Structure 1
Amino acid sequence: MKITRIALCAAVFLMPYQATARERADVLIRHAAVVDVEHARIIPDQAIAIEGDTIRAVGPDRSLARKFAAPRTIDAAGKFVMPGLWDMHVHFGGEELIGENKALLPLYVAFGVTTVRDCAEDISASVLEWRSGVAEGRLLGPTIYTSGPKLEGYKPIWKGTIEVGTPAEVDAALDRLQAMKVDFVKITDNTLKPEIFLYAVKAAKSRGLKTSAHTPYALTIEQAATAGLNSVEHLDYLIKAGSPQEASIGADFAAKKLNYGEASDKFVETFDPNYAVEEYRRLAALGVYVTPTLNMSRILAYLDREDHSGDAALAYVGPGLRKTYQWRVERAAKATSAQVEARHREYELSLKVLPMLRDAGIPILAGTDAGYLNSFNYPGEGLHEELERYVEAGLTPQQALVTATITGPAFLGHSDRYGGLADGKAADILVLDANPLNDVKATRAIRGVMLHGQWLDRAALDKLLADAKATAAR
């Protein structure tokens, strides 16, 4: 009897000790099927312990549930858990549309996009403030990486650029961008001299800045890559690189013997798959990434046959931003039948080029071009459409997912923090109803989003959508 009392007392004494011996976490996701995107596998019945905005541990549910105690538990039984999605090419813009642009931030989150790369705009001060607001938890939205204003030549068609025409002006522009603490430098080719383009790429590289660009037609893509260009925006520039006549067509363009449309058609007509394979391997060896924006290309290619006026996603976009879509629609309507057919041919060739880039080893960045000016390419939803285009072109669902979860962090130098579900990684997580490795469309079936450690269930995501619709209507 005395031994029994001693044992009972010891048990009572040890109970609180055993409870406090468990490590503390803020959130515990249990019984999840973890999507290991990198290795194309599903790891069943896993638990994820989260503290603040960081993953503390990932492992078998049975062991982690014993190790960690958390005030909030999310039952993910029957669900699939993967890293949040990255859209590596978005745009904000329009000085009079700052409010409408800001309203897009929660919309990205509602569609599972937890990080965006803003590829230049004319409202840099606002975007930089939003970047800080999101990072500090004052604003609900995806993590933002931004180029700030892009570098261009004198009197370009694009607003909000830094106009440069001499090396000294490039140096001053880079000083300004570094003072703004931009995440990379965007360079475009509307009026920029080819030699100044190359100087800008080299100067940015010497300062340790990543560069992203539309390359001048007068230069080959290999020339730009050799100078140190990190990312080519839009797949049509890789079609250009696949033409053995790239340099001569570019010279004719520079001599004003060809306009943009004519030069682009020539690149398509002279594209040589055998030559392209070798050129893409050379570009891969130079470390170039590409952001295809394939869905944007498809939308523009088929404006002659697809009416987007009834798109449900239009309801989430403010009237001012919707109005900026009209210029592309009007321009497409003026195209001749030959020009329309040329658009179709270029897009159809793009579908063939994408798997060639993959096979050559060029890292692909999933990006949409969504937002300001770019017709019917919707923030948030557009990334899902982009991934679906990749699979249509021949990538596997896993390869498509890599472009939206792994290559973005790698490009920006943040693979230590993003790109998977592991100890020390960011707690930006999607909980899905279906397996995206089987069907990439499963990325649309979002049951919940963990954003910077904040849990948003399906009801919360639906409210974000409803709020976006109400805001756009106002």
Structure 2
Amino acid sequence: MKKLLPTALASLIAFSAHAGERVDLLVRDANVVDVINGKVLPHRAIAVRDDRIVAIVDDARASRYEAARSIDAAGQYAIPGLWDMHVHFGGGEALIEENRNLLPLYVAHGITAVRDAAGDLSPSVFEWRAQTASGQLLGPRIFTSGPKIEGYKSIWPGDLEIGSIKELDEALDKLQGWKVDFVKITDNTLSPELFMAAVKEARKRGLKTSAHVPYPLTLQEVSAAGLGSIEHIDYAFKAGSPKEKSLGEAIGRGEITSREAWTQWYASFDPQRARTVYRDLARNGTAITPTLNGSQVVAYLDQDDHRNDAYLKYIGPGLQATYTWRVERAAKDDAAAVKLRHERFERSASVLPMLQQAGVTILAGTDAGFLNSYNYPGIGLHQELGWLVRYGLTPLQALQASTINGARFLGHADTNGSLAAGKAADIVLLSADPLQDIAATRAIRTVVMRGQVYDRAALDGMLADVEARVAAQRAAAVK
């Protein structure tokens, strides 16, 4: 027996010397896309423990790791999980389940984080934020504004309506109590004065802001006040007109319609003025979320009514019913109004490369959710990336807009937005190189979210489950 002990001990020592570092997941031989520097790093192994990347090494050194699970990613491209920086959950309490059904659609399309830009289901969204973070609920990480700040009798459901500085302070106290990730401010009935006060006070409190900008205010004014992001690119277009202020104030006084103002803004657009404004936005750190996909759908409803879209099988009947509002408004437009819709979209989208060249941070967001017709959670972000490239960004810039830019904007670039040791294990494996063709983001083979692996079969299962739930909801609605 004594003679056997040294032999057994020697064997144990030999085994220990060759045993690798234990990890939960090892992605082998991937082409890692560096979204910061725009490079593809071939033949890399990505080691994951718990919900973090512990190392990215040459695949030849992968033997140093002993993994509970390995993925052969040979020929595939690894990108960070995508971020949709403008989504909505809403439609009233009767649609809570239909909204919750949207969460797997994001994951199935490689979207591991979303920025909820306000709706009327904030209590539910707060719950989902906590449940997705803990793994209790399948869905992307949720960053939410909670209810938006507005004026009295706003058209938007579920907002916090204010009419004084005292009420503004009370609203911000509520939002901070709910630990919102940013503050959304819109312009339906909120006065320009209270809008500016909201931006400045939120900034004093260390809160990021996102907004629709009141017509009487210029982009330079709101940016200098500390506005974090401007939602929708048409605001950026009108900033290129020397009549931005005067026409905006005329709208505010009720002297002209916004349609009449837009006609004059088009005619007076000055590219050099626009570049000056955009450089100011960049210097102040004000980002732009273009939301081209939602705008394009509505602008061109006369050419494609989307009623036969296959993706509608994933959208509940109650949510589809909320699309009617915009569809019916568009149906009332005469030929001149339809032409103006087209022009507004095309002219607004045309400033995208100017914003990028000026250094403005572009955030990829869809505006998907309730009310926004045929603008779909999940696939909509891939459509948005396609529009961003079509209207002037490179595939790399579009990819940055949907990864690192969002993480930086929300203050999480240290843990998210790119693939590196120490960062979140949110990884999407693609069949093709998205730096060559942005459409490659649709060719998803595997999604790793918070370290959990969802292969193509699992992703298809998510889609099938949502389809079945929606079919049941549709059947119940017609009884």
Are the counterparts in 1 of residues 219 and 277 from structure 2 also a CA contact under 8 Å? no
| Corresponding residue for residue 75 of structure 2 | 78
Give, in angstroms, the shift of residue 6 of structure 1. 12
Q: What is the rounded CA distance, in whole Å, between the counterparts of 2:231 and 2:66 in structure 1?
A: 46
SS at match of 2:85: strand
Q: What is the rounded CA distance, in whole Å, between the counterparts of 1:241 and 1:160 in structure 2?
A: 30
| Corresponding residue for residue 88 of structure 2 | 91
Are the counterparts in 1 of residues 77 and 433 from structure 2 also a CA contact under 8 Å? yes
Amino acid at match of 2:84: D
| Corresponding residue for residue 11 of structure 2 | 12
| Corresponding residue for residue 466 of structure 1 | 464
| Corresponding residue for residue 477 of structure 2 | none
Give, in angstroms, the shift of residue 349 of structure 1. 1.0
Give, in angstroms, the shift of residue 11 of structure 1. 5.9
Pick the aligned partner of 1:350 from 340, 348, 351: 348
Pick the aligned partner of 1:200 from 198, 201, 217: 198
Give, in angstroms, the shift of residue 18 of structure 1. 2.2
Q: What is the rounded CA distance, in whole Å, between the counterparts of 1:19 and 1:141 in structure 2?
A: 39
Listed one character per residue, the Cα deviations across residues 203-239 of structure 1 (whole Å, up to 9, x for unaligned) are: 0000000000001001111111111101000001101
Listed one character per residue, the Cα deviations across residues 169-210 of structure 1 (whole Å, up to 9, x for unaligned) are: 000000000001100000000000000000000000000000
Q: What is the rounded CA distance, in whole Å, between the counterparts of 2:153 and 2:307 in structure 1?
A: 33
Amino acid at match of 1:12: S
TM-score, length-scaled by structure 2: 0.96
Pick the aligned partner of 1:178 from 176, 179, 182: 176
Give, in angstroms, the shift of residue 12 of structure 1. 2.6
Give, in angstroms, the shift of residue 8 of structure 1. 7.8
Q: What is the rounded CA distance, in whole Å, between the counterparts of 2:410 and 2:58 in structure 1?
A: 31
Asked whether 1:101 is paired with 2:131, we answer no
Listed one character per residue, the Cα deviations across residues 256-289 of structure 1 (whole Å, up to 9, x for unaligned) are: 1112333333323322212111111122111110
Query: Counterparts of 1:257-268 in structure 2 under 5 Å?
Result: 257-268=255-266
Pick the aligned partner of 1:413 from 411, 417, 434: 411
TM-score, length-scaled by structure 1: 0.97
| Corresponding residue for residue 445 of structure 2 | 447
SS at match of 2:436: coil
Give, in angstroms, the shift of residue 255 of structure 1. 1.3
Q: Stretches of 4+ moved more than 4 A in 1?
A: 5-11
Amino acid at match of 1:40: G
Amino acid at match of 1:14: I
Amino acid at match of 2:88: H
Identity %: 56
Q: What is the rounded CA distance, in whole Å, between the counterparts of 2:348 and 2:43 in structure 1?
A: 40
Amino acid at match of 1:147: S
Are the counterparts in 1 of residues 291 and 367 from structure 2 also a CA contact under 8 Å? yes
SS at match of 1:306: coil
Greater mean alpha carbon deviation, residues 8-17 or residues 462-471: 8-17
Give, in angstroms, the shift of residue 240 of structure 1. 1.6
SS at match of 2:288: strand
Query: Counterparts of 1:75-474 in structure 2 under 5 Å?
Result: 75-95=72-92, 96-474=94-472
SS at match of 2:193: helix
Q: What is the rounded CA distance, in whole Å, between the counterparts of 2:38 and 2:63 in structure 1?
A: 28
SS at match of 1:372: coil
| Corresponding residue for residue 475 of structure 2 | none
Pick the aligned partner of 1:57 from 50, 55, 58: 55
Q: CA RMSD in A?
A: 1.5
Asked whether 1:38 is paired with 2:36, we answer yes
Q: What is the rounded CA distance, in whole Å, between the counterparts of 2:65 and 2:195 in structure 1?
A: 54
SS at match of 1:154: coil
How many equivalent residue pairs? 468
Q: What is the rounded CA distance, in whole Å, between the counterparts of 1:373 and 1:9 in structure 2?
A: 70
SS at match of 1:253: helix
Q: What is the rounded CA distance, in whole Å, between the counterparts of 2:440 and 2:184 in structure 1?
A: 33
Q: What is the rounded CA distance, in whole Å, between the counterparts of 1:275 and 1:452 in structure 2?
A: 45
Listed one character per residue, the Cα deviations across residues 286-321 of structure 1 (whole Å, up to 9, x for unaligned) are: 111000001111111101111201111111100100
Give, in angstroms, the shift of residue 19 of structure 1. 4.4
Q: Which runs of 5+ in 2 are unaligned?
A: 473-479
SS at match of 1:371: coil
Q: What is the rounded CA distance, in whole Å, between the counterparts of 2:257 and 2:163 in structure 1?
A: 22
SS at match of 2:351: helix
Listed one character per residue, the Cα deviations across residues 402-453 of structure 1 (whole Å, up to 9, x for unaligned) are: 0001110010010000111111100010000011011000000000100111
Q: What is the rounded CA distance, in whole Å, between the counterparts of 1:382 and 1:66 in structure 2?
A: 40
Amino acid at match of 1:36: D
